[in-house]
Amino acid sequence: MINNNYVKTVYKNIQAKYPYEKEFLQAVLEVLETLEPVVENDAQIEKLGILERIVEPERMITFRVSWVDDNGKVQVNTGYRCQFNSAIGPYKGGLRFHPTVNASVIKFLGFEQTFKNSLTGLSMGGGKGGSDFDPKGKSDMEIMRFCQSFMTELYRHIGQFTDVPAGDIGVGKREVGYLYGQYKRISNEFTGVLTGKALEFGGSLGRTEATGYGLCYFTQKMLETLKGTNFNDKKVIVSGSGNVAIYAAQKAKELGAKIIAMSDSCGYIYDKNGIDLQLIKNIKEVKRERIKEYLKKYPNAIYVDNCRDIWSIPCDIALPCATQNELDENSAKLLVKNGCIAVAEGANMPSTPKAIQIFIDNDIAYAPGKASNAGGVAVSGLEMSQNSLRLSWSFDQVDQKLKEIMENLFDRVYKTSQKYSDGKNLVIGANIAGFEKVCEAMKIQGIAY
Ligand code: NDP
Ligand code: 2IT
């Protein structure tokens, strides 16, 4: 609920302008609701139209991607790049290839990225892109041809000092390789224009692990500060089994937790003895198969072919690491009922607004994704630094920097929450702390953009 008239008007206008962009409106409302005290303390924000500008992307690029499948048939998809905000640095954010991608999804991700990137303390603006292309079931050559066609348009909009894309759902090392190859061919330039690259051509050690590890560094600090405990001996559920989920599970396990369940978009696996992560990696990263394959080696594990029900399993800590709105009100109630003490988001906006309210009302320590999953983009920032320096740092150097970034990020979010609320509401802390730097930069740079 918004009370302040200025904030209310900004939201109503954006709602009237983009009535069908429900994910985007959800992300905007969540942020605007928490900015009221800041707006009320600073008349410049309204005068300079900071909120009107911060909810409107600087540039939204939509393009046709035609490619030829293995049968010689031409296929057509839609490509997007949303260059949301460049107040504090070049646009930075991933590319998502998934059939559910549309303008609303890309805009919500670009909007959130602006605040997330600000929270890392590095100089990166917010951007996001992708396509409704479905990589599932495609051959390697089809993936290559799609990536090449996608980059043939995208290349003119990006650059190491302009906009630096990376991976997200459906875009990992393989896709970044094909995208990079095509960028280089067309531009005749070898620069750090993408992150998440393979080590052979300028990638950073630790980028693959960064989002999942960063999530656990943040969560450990949150557990210590808000709950006086840590991961040790906790039962943990991780949804998803992609890049973020796998390395979140790995680090949580290293910190003493037992991972009892993981999922993919078809269903979930519950293994009360603890999930065999090596097997999950082999199924999902190497063979690109369904998580159900887990049963072949562990017939006593339980498989349920409904991924949304994963939250009905009793656990101490929930790490949603799959996709937006995967954890709803009913799931939140079940988590509370079963004694869960913390929910920390590896995915972007995985909890619905009603679910978040339930966590807050029931004193569950809740880490919003734009803070807790910032480790991926933070190490992307470190990859850009290494590319500029023409140097590569060791895994331990990168991991140490990641840990410092996530712990400092937690402190800043926590202190901001203490200033504007009770210290426990990290949604308020993350939104305001992320907003402050972007807002100041926008004020200083004038209004002609
Ligand atoms: P991956 O493509 O590696 O994995 C995605 C996982 O989520 C898969 O297990 C996939 O299942 C599942 N999933 C995807 N869409 C859906 C859906 N609609 N319903 C149910 N399950 C789904 O992606 P990432 O691990 O990179 O990304 C996961 C989340 O983390 C996303 O929200 C992303 O935006 C966010 N994120 C990613 C970062 C990164 O560096 N990669 C950084 C910060 C956040 P299946 O295999 O069946 O498709
Ligand atoms: O949501 C995200 O932060 C990402 N997908 C990572 C973006 C990046 O530029 O590394």
- The predicted-structure confidence for 219-252, as pLDDT tens digits, reads as follows 999 999 999 999 999 999 999 999 999 999 999 9
Residue 447 is predicted with a pLDDT of 81
The C-alpha torsion from 378 through 168 and 85 to 422, rounded to 10°, is -60
Q: What is the pTM of this model?
A: 0.98
Paired tokens of 179: 């995208």
Is the CA virtual torsion 165, 166, 168, 170 positive or negative?
positive
Question: How far away, in angstroms, is 3 Cα from ligand 1 center?
Answer: 35
Average model confidence (pLDDT) across the chain: 97
Of 16, 34, 15, 33, the residue nearest 25 (C-alpha): 15
Residue 235 is predicted with a pLDDT of 98
Residue 1 is predicted with a pLDDT of 84
Residue 13 is predicted with a pLDDT of 98
Question: How far away, in angstroms, is 236 Cα from ligand 1 center?
Answer: 18
Ligand 2 proximal residues by C-beta, below 6 Å:
92-94, 113, 116, 166, 168, 195, 348, 376-377, 380
Q: In testing the pocket of ligand 1, which one of 243, 306, 310 has its CB within 8 Å of the most ligand atoms?
A: 243
pLDDT (mean) for 167-190: 98
Query: Three-state SS for 165?
Result: strand
Please state the atom number of ligand 1 nearest to the C-alpha of residue 244: 25
Question: pLDDT at residue 385 above 70?
Answer: yes
pLDDT (mean) for 334-348: 98
Nearest ligand atom owner, CA of 243? 1
Distance of CA 75 to the CA centre of its chain: 29
Give per-residue pLDDT as tens, 2-42: 999 999 999 999 999 999 999 999 999 999 999 999 999 99
Q: What is the pairing mode between strands 235-239 and 317-320? A: parallel
Question: pLDDT at residue 212 above 90?
Answer: yes
pLDDT (mean) for 104-113: 98
Residue type (1 letter), 11: Y
Question: pLDDT at residue 111 above 60?
Answer: yes
Helix axes 395-420, 426-444, angle to 10 degrees: 100
pLDDT (mean) for 161-173: 98
Confidence of residue 177 (pLDDT cuts 50, 70, 90): very high
Question: How far away, in angstroms, is 366 Cα from ligand 1 center?
Answer: 20
Residues 6+ apart with CB under 8 A from 177: 197, 198, 201
Give per-residue pLDDT as tens, 89-98: 999 999 999 9
Distance of CA 66 to the CA centre of its chain: 27
Paired tokens of 329: 């009100």
Confidence of residue 267 (pLDDT cuts 50, 70, 90): very high
Cα gap 277→283, rounded to integer Å:
10
Q: Single out the catalytic residue among 92, 128, 138, 234.
A: 128
Question: pLDDT at residue 71 above 80?
Answer: yes
Give strand pairing partners of 318.
237, 343
Confidence of residue 345 (pLDDT cuts 50, 70, 90): very high
Tally of CB atoms within 10 A around 436:
17
Question: pLDDT at residue 449 above 70?
Answer: no
Residue 227 bears catalytic tag: no
Confidence of residue 132 (pLDDT cuts 50, 70, 90): very high
pLDDT (mean) for 245-261: 98
Residue 326 is predicted with a pLDDT of 98
pLDDT (mean) for 67-84: 98
Tally of CB atoms within 10 A around 448:
4
Q: What is the pairing mode between strands 74-85 and 342-344? A: unpaired
Is any atom of ligand 1 closer than 6 Å to the C-beta of 417? no
Give strand pairing partners of 127.
83
Give the helix ranges, DSSP H, for 318-366: 329-337, 353-361
Please state the atom number of ligand 1 nearest to the C-alpha of residue 241: 9
pLDDT (mean) for 152-175: 98
Question: pLDDT at residue 448 above 90?
Answer: no
Question: pLDDT at residue 278 above 90?
Answer: yes
pLDDT (mean) for 159-177: 98
